[in-house]
Amino acid sequence: MTTKSIDITLKVWRQKGPGHKGRLETYRADNISTDMSFLEMLDVINEQLTLDGREPIAFDHDCREGICGQCGSVVNGRPHGPEQGTTLCQLHMRHFNSGDTLVIEPFRARAFKVVKDLAVDRSPLDKIIQAGGYVSVNTGGTPDANSIPISADIAEEAMDAAACIGCGACVAACPNASAMLFMSAKVSQLALLPQGRPEAAKRALAMVRQMDACGFGNCSNERECEAECPKQISITHIARLNREFIKAGIGSSVF
């Protein structure tokens, strides 16, 4: 079987650090196999840059299996590129045509500081989780799996929310740079289950406050987050988060 190759032009955002001005630099990517993933293509470019004595392009990655949520850049205006339900590491070059020009930029948000080139600091998402995205349990023996009956439809919905990998594409896609889809998935997966109900009110208030403190915007129902999420998390979880927040705020000083 003959492997097809393409020639493309890359316009890549280069920035030395958060305190430096960035710019787009142009590179040629010739004879790129369409069997390569997007990140493998960047690896090839970096190998050539290194051989030429130039600084390679910094970008986030880890598992390269669409699991860890570390990868992510904006390709021609779309986080993770043009394929729906696909992380950047799982995007293959067969989805592009020879002669294409690809503009590659980091995720843009006030809360996401550029570390270098395409790599951004996503630790604000970790801070939101630390504020309340967990359950407190007594240690001891592991309970039987069927000790707390949970209906199949509720379990499936909770698992759908838990599919969020925290990549930040929803933030990059949102015109308000909101983290509501990410946060609502984390709140929803716990709010649906009995184990998450005791701390539900505290969780909703604490995570929303932390989101605001980190500099994320609010949701205005644009739905770009849902469209660009590589795990196709539904915005119905945002509705559940809003209900949880309102219930938690009744009788408190949040309002």
Q: What local confidence, expressed as pLDDT, does residue 2 receive?
A: 62
Q: What local confidence, expressed as pLDDT, does residue 6 receive?
A: 97
Q: How confident is the model at residue 255 (pLDDT cuts 50, 70, 90)?
A: very low
| Range of weakest confidence among 56-60, 147-151, 186-190, 224-228 | 147-151
Q: What CA–CA distance (Å, rounded) separates 164 from 189?
A: 10
Does 251 have pLDDT greater than 50?
Answer: yes
pLDDT tens figures, 220-247? 999 999 999 999 999 999 999 999 999 9
Question: Which whole number is the average pLDDT over 7-29?
Answer: 97
Q: How much of the chain exceeds pLDDT 70, in percent?
A: 96
Task: Find the angle CA(112)-CA(115)-CA(76) to the nearest 5 degrees.
Answer: 65
Task: Identify which of 36-45, 141-150, 195-204 has the greatest average pLDDT.
Answer: 36-45
pLDDT tens figures, 62-115? 999 999 999 999 999 999 999 999 999 999 999 999 999 999 999 999 999 999
Question: Which whole number is the average pLDDT over 21-47?
Answer: 97
**Mean pLDDT in the chain?**
94
pLDDT tens figures, 211-224? 999 999 999 999 99
SS (H, E, C) 204-232: HHHHHHHHHHHCCECCCCCCHHHHHCCCC
Locate tokens 């020009």: which residue?
Answer: 101
Considering the domain 123-136+149-249, what is its CATH architecture?
Answer: Orthogonal Bundle (1.10)
Q: What CA–CA distance (Å, rounded) separates 182 from 161?
A: 9
For β-strands 101-105 and 5-14, DSSP reports them as parallel
Neighbour order of strands in the sheet with 101-105: 23-33, 5-14, 101-105, 74-75, 78-79
Does 140 have pLDDT greater than 90?
Answer: no
Q: Which CATH superfamily is domain 5-115 in?
A: Beta-grasp domain (3.10.20.30)
Q: What local confidence, expressed as pLDDT, does residue 147 receive?
A: 80
Q: What CA–CA distance (Å, rounded) separates 240 from 187?
A: 8
SS (H, E, C) the chain: CCCCEEEEEEEEEECCCCCCCCEEEEEEEEEEECCCEHHHHHHHHHHHHHHCCCCCCCCCCCCCCCCCCCCCCEECCEECCCCCCCCHHHCEHHHCCCCCEEEEECCCECCECEEECCEECCHHHHHHHHHHCCCCCCCCCCCCCCCCCCCHHHHHHHHHHHCCCCCCHHHHHCCCCECHHHHHHHHHHHHCCHHHCCCHHHHHHHHHHHHHHHCCECCCCCCHHHHHCCCCCCCHHHHHHHHHHHHHHCCCCCC
Q: How much of the chain exceeds pLDDT 90, in percent?
A: 89
Query: How do the domains of the chain map onto residue ranges?
Result: 5-115, 123-136+149-249
Does 253 have pLDDT greater than 90?
Answer: no
Q: What CA–CA distance (Å, rounded) separates 214 from 126?
A: 11
Are the beta carbons of 219 and 179 closer than 8 angstroms?
A: no
Q: What local confidence, expressed as pLDDT, does residue 249 receive?
A: 87
